[in-house]
Structure formats: structure tokens, C-alpha cells
Chains A and B, each alone.
Chain A
Amino acid sequence: MIKFEGVSKTYGGFKAVDDVSFVAEAGRVTGFLGPNGAGKSTSMRIMVGLTPPDRGTSTIGGHNYADIPNPGRHVGVLLDASAQHAGRTGREVLALSALTMGLPESRVDEMLTLVGLTENESGRRVRNYSLGMRQRLGLANALIGDPSVLILDEPANGLDPAGIHWMRTLLRGYAERGGTVLLSSHLLHEVEMIADELVLIGRGRIVAQGTKAELLQTAGTFVKAESPEKLTAALGEAGIKASASGDGGFRAEVDPIDVGRVAAAAGVVLMELKPAEGAGLEELFLELTADDAREPVGTTGTTQQGAPA
């Protein structure tokens, strides 16, 4: 379990992490989601003791990271897949970690197999690796000590859809066996696919957190009428706010039965009436981070946060 309590970190006048508190539970995959520069990487560096926080505490399983002996055996860390010596072979990168942790050389082969790097690929130097291969190597490096906690910064970055699917299966299985997984991403769809719990961060602050289901839940009704004008007029008279929601339909922040009653009383023919579907995390993400994003949101809908699936 990873616990962050009131953690802040300021660089000059810039608040990289601002009073952040959250918990990543064991047995769950927690997604740490936010636009670039939101403070995800700084938070993760604080977790593993590479950056001292100005305020607050960060513990893993109740310990400060620095107090965990041979930490690679307990916490698997992948902070930057590119932070590997370009002149080493993939196999050598893992062999160095195995040697540090006191693991047998056979563990290297197991990890290479697990992440799908072939014998040939493992003998190549890291400078010749694609980003996707570096991510696989980085994941192997994080998993080699058989840790019970995983901290992964943008692990899906550079993976193809099949790779992301593979990672989902791997991390799900890992969490189901009781492991704690915290992974960050600036791409919503990656996190939506992999995580159970979400922590949304923007400009160093947490803007929302909860289970995926909780965050997806939106109250309200989607309604579509034969005559949209009559419907809006009737709803307006009844004091129900409705907003256009594509396809000539409307969204109202009340239950379907209330909209149905108003429509029936006004004699408006309805074509559709249903609870509003989850707007999708995409909308939520854009909405929550709109103030914090670097680009204005709303003009093209989905700009930098990744195209809809």
C-alpha cells in the first residue's frame, strides 16, 4: 500500500506538487492520471525517495522508502524507460539489477520471457531499442525482485494496442495476487483500460479520486423528442434545466421519470428517454483538468488527451 499524506514540493515559485494525499491500496491497480506537467512524475520520485518533499509524508507499506532494506525486493520501480545506459545490452541491465538484489542469473531469463523480449533482442544494446522495447525492459527491471508494490511512470507509453492489452493482463493478474500497482499516464484510455481506482491530478493538485465506477457515475437523464422546441419549452416551464447533448437530444439533471411526466403533461412525443450514460472519463478528465490544461478545451473536444477509442 502506498500512502501519500499532504505532500508538497515547490521549485522556485512553482508548486509542482501541492498538498497531495491519496492511497493506492493493495490488490488494486491505481491509475495516476493527469496532463503533462501535472506533478505525476515528481510525486513518484518523492515516493521512492529520489526527491525530498517540502512537506508531508510518503510511505510504502508503512515504511519510508529509504528504510526498506534491499528495496528492489519489495518495490518495483519504473520511472523512465529511457533512463538506461545506451551502451548496455538489455540482458546486462537486468543482470546488474539481479546482482544488486542478490538474485540468481536465471531470474533475468524469466523476466525476459515474461515481458516478451527474445534472446536476440536481449543481446542488443539499449540504444537500438524502440520505446516499446525499453518499456518492456523497464517493466522486467521493476518486476525482477518479485516485489509486492509496483510504481510505474507512464509504462504504457510507446506500447502498441496489443502491448497495452498485454500490460493490462499482466498488471491485473499482479493486483489479483495481492500486489499494489500505481501507474501514471497522461492518456486517459490507457488508464481506463488498466486501472480500478483513479487519482486525477492537475497542476500539482488532486482534482478527483475514486473508483472508476464512482467517477463514471453521472446523475441525469438523456431525452430526445419529436419536437425539441416544445420539449425545451415544457422543461423550462417546469423549472428543469436541460442542455443540448448531441443528436438533437437533451440532458437534464433530474431523473427520467420527472422528464417523462413533464413531457406527458405537455403532450410532447418522446423518441428516447433514459438515464444519462456515463459521459466517459474523457469528458470528466477534460472537465476536471480544463483549468489546469495547457490548451483551452472545448474547441475541438478531444485534443491532447488522446483520440477516442
Chain B
Amino acid sequence: MSTTTALPDTLDVSQTPAVPLSRLIRVELRKMYDTRAGLWLLAIIGIVTTLAIVLFGVFAKDADKTFSNFSGFAATPQGFLLPVMAILLITQEWGQRTAMVTFTLEPHRSRILTAKVAAALVIGLGAYVLAMVVALLSALVLGGSGAFDDFSSLDLGTFGMLQILGILQGLGFGLVLLNSAAAIVLYFALPTIFGIIGGIWPAFADKAAWFDLGTAQTPLFDGAESLTGQEWTQLGVTAVIWVGIPLAVGTWRMLRAELK
């Protein structure tokens, strides 16, 4: 603080470094576990992942107890929960109006957004690693002699890609709607809506893989190596529609949204 004798009209900011991105990412990560709700969500992701794999190990036929199947079993619950985590990472700032504080401490909103995306991916990576470790241990302990016969590094990549797509979609939906309830409802309602439309309009169902991310992703669960060129294209197109466009529109909205 300046002295009382000469009060400068200007603020000397030359000695102040900007807030490094690494610190913003740490802050965003901390925001995900410093409330009971956040902590529970992370705990549930961990518990459900572990439980899904272990239950599969207990109840599945011995021949099915392969590493690939174990890890695949973690994909479904994580596919639900990680996008919710991503949505909340964005929307809780609006629901609780903390964005006002966040954006005054770092007025460059794009840096906050970058930190949030990074934080969501770090949590996703953590969930992925946990799933792999539990699946590996389960395959070793519960699996038969051929537990690793169907192992394919492409499947590991597929699993990771699905998680990343889910997380980015959650971020996009959160950014577009800036409202937890609306974003989560829409995220879960979309597949159902596509199912209903497809049910009453067969022509739509035939083409669903071109605009429904869920339909386009289905072949991936049978192993990425079996995907045809057209199926990859469909995956790309649906990812642009449901991940790319929401992220772009949502980013534009967050950078401009007025906070009251």
C-alpha cells in the first residue's frame, strides 16, 4: 500500500505476475471436492466404478471375466456420472453465483474456462485410471487363464475417447444452459427423445446414427477395430453436433454472459 505523503493516481502493476493457469486449474479441482455435494459425486464415481467391476467379477461366467470386459463394465456408470460432474463444474458457479468472484479474480474468462476443461479432464483421467487399475486387479484375481487374450490397446483408447466425449458434452451442455438442472435433464432426456422419435418414425431410426451420439457410439462397445469408415464418420458428425456445437455456443455465451 502506498504511503500517506504521495498518493499516486496510478497503480503500479508491473511487479505483479498474472495468475498462472496451473493455479487456476488447482482452484477448479478444489472446487469440485470442497463441498459435500461435490465430494459425494466424486466418491460415487469411485465407488460405482469399483462396484460395477467387482460385481461383474462375482456374477459373470468365468469365460467372460476378461480384462476387456471388466474395464468395459466401468464405462457405463462412468459414462453417466462424468458428464454430470462436468456439467456441475460449470453450472454451480452460476447457481451459487460464485462466478462473480471467480471472474473478478481472473477477468479473462477464457482462462477460467480453460482451467475448468482441464480440471474436468483431470478428474476424467483419474476415473479412467481407477477403472483400469480395478479392472486389472479383478482380471488378475478373478479372471481365468485367458483373461488378457482379448486385450486390445484400441479398446483402452476407445474407453478413454468415450469418457472424453462425455465430459466435453457435459461441459458444452453446462455452458449453453448455465443451469445445473436444465443441463442434466437435457443430457439424460436426449437419448430417450431420440428413442421415442425413432420408435414412431422408422426412417428416422435408420438415420439415427447420423445425429444421435448414443447410436453412433454403440458400435464402439463392440470394439473399435470393427468400426467401418461410415461408422467413424457418423461418430465424427454426431460429436460435432452434440459436443462441438454446444462447446462453441456455450463458450461464446460464457464469455459474454452478464453476472448479476
Do the beta carbons of B96 and A86 come within 8 Å of each other?
Answer: yes
| Bound: A77/B105 CA distance, A | 9
Do the beta carbons of A63 and B11 come within 8 Å of each other?
Answer: yes
Interface 1/0 per residue, B101-143 and A, CB below 8 Å:
1011111100000000000000000000000000000000000
Across the interface, A25 reaches (CB within 8 A) one of B7, B24, B105, B108, namely B7
Minimal Cβ-Cβ distance residue in B for A149 = B11
Interface assignment of B26: CB less than 8 Å from any CB of chain A: yes
CB within 8 Å of A: which B1-45 residues? 1-4, 7-11, 13, 16-19, 23-24, 26-27, 30-31, 34-38
Which of B9, B92, B106 has the most C-beta atoms of chain A within 10 angstroms of its own C-beta?
A: B9
Interface assignment of A79: CB less than 8 Å from any CB of chain B: yes
Minimal Cβ-Cβ distance residue in A for B34 = A92
Which stretch in A171-179, A215-223, A231-239, A268-276 binds the other chain?
A171-179
User: Total interface residues on B, using CB and 8 Å?
Assistant: 40
Interface assignment of A73: CB less than 8 Å from any CB of chain B: yes
Interface assignment of A5: CB less than 8 Å from any CB of chain B: no
- Which B residues are in CB contact (< 8 Å) with A100? 19, 23-24, 27, 105-106
Interface 1/0 per residue, A164-185 and B, CB below 8 Å:
0000000000001111000000
Interface assignment of A97: CB less than 8 Å from any CB of chain B: yes
Minimal Cβ-Cβ distance residue in A for B9 = A1
Interface assignment of A71: CB less than 8 Å from any CB of chain B: yes
Across the interface, B4 reaches (CB within 8 A) one of A27, A61, A70, A92, namely A27
Do the beta carbons of A66 and B2 come within 8 Å of each other?
Answer: no
Interface assignment of B233: CB less than 8 Å from any CB of chain A: no
A49-B107, A100-B24, A178-B1 as given contacts; A60 in contact with B11, CB under 8 Å? yes
- Which A residues are in CB contact (< 8 Å) with B11? 60-63, 68, 74, 148-149
Interface assignment of A303: CB less than 8 Å from any CB of chain B: no
- Which A residues are in CB contact (< 8 Å) with B10? 1, 61-63
Do the beta carbons of B30 and A96 come within 8 Å of each other?
Answer: yes
Interface assignment of B259: CB less than 8 Å from any CB of chain A: yes
Kindly provide the distance from the CB of A53 to the nearest chain B CB, expressed in whole angstroms: 12
Do the beta carbons of B98 and A84 come within 8 Å of each other?
Answer: yes
Interface assignment of B196: CB less than 8 Å from any CB of chain A: no
Do the beta carbons of B16 and A26 come within 8 Å of each other?
Answer: no
Do the beta carbons of B105 and A101 come within 8 Å of each other?
Answer: yes
| Bound: A82/B38 CA distance, A | 20
Minimal Cβ-Cβ distance residue in A for B26 = A99
- Which B residues are in CB contact (< 8 Å) with A146? 1
Do the beta carbons of B26 and A83 come within 8 Å of each other?
Answer: no
Interface assignment of A301: CB less than 8 Å from any CB of chain B: no
| Bound: A86/B35 CA distance, A | 9
| Bound: A92/B31 CA distance, A | 9
Interface assignment of A135: CB less than 8 Å from any CB of chain B: no
Interface assignment of B258: CB less than 8 Å from any CB of chain A: yes
Interface assignment of B249: CB less than 8 Å from any CB of chain A: no
| Bound: A146/B1 CA distance, A | 8
Across the interface, A85 reaches (CB within 8 A) one of B2, B13, B17, B96, namely B96
Kindly provide the distance from the CB of B97 to the nearest chain A CB, expressed in whole angstroms: 4
Do the beta carbons of B104 and A79 come within 8 Å of each other?
Answer: yes
Kindly provide the distance from the CB of A146 to the nearest chain B CB, expressed in whole angstroms: 7
A-side residues, CB < 8 A to B, are 1, 25-27, 45, 48-51, 60-63, 65-75, 77, 79-80, 82-88, 92, 96-97, 99-102, 141, 146, 148-149, 176-179
Closest 9 CB pairs of A and B: A61-B11, A87-B35, A83-B97, A62-B10, A26-B7, A178-B2, A69-B18, A85-B96, A66-B107
26 A-B residue pairs with Cβ-Cβ distance under 8 Å, sorted by A, are A26-B8, A49-B107, A51-B259, A61-B9, A61-B10, A61-B11, A61-B13, A67-B13, A68-B13, A69-B19, A71-B105, A71-B107, A72-B104, A75-B104, A77-B104, A79-B100, A80-B100, A85-B92, A87-B96, A92-B34, A96-B34, A99-B26, A99-B27, A177-B1, A178-B3, A178-B7
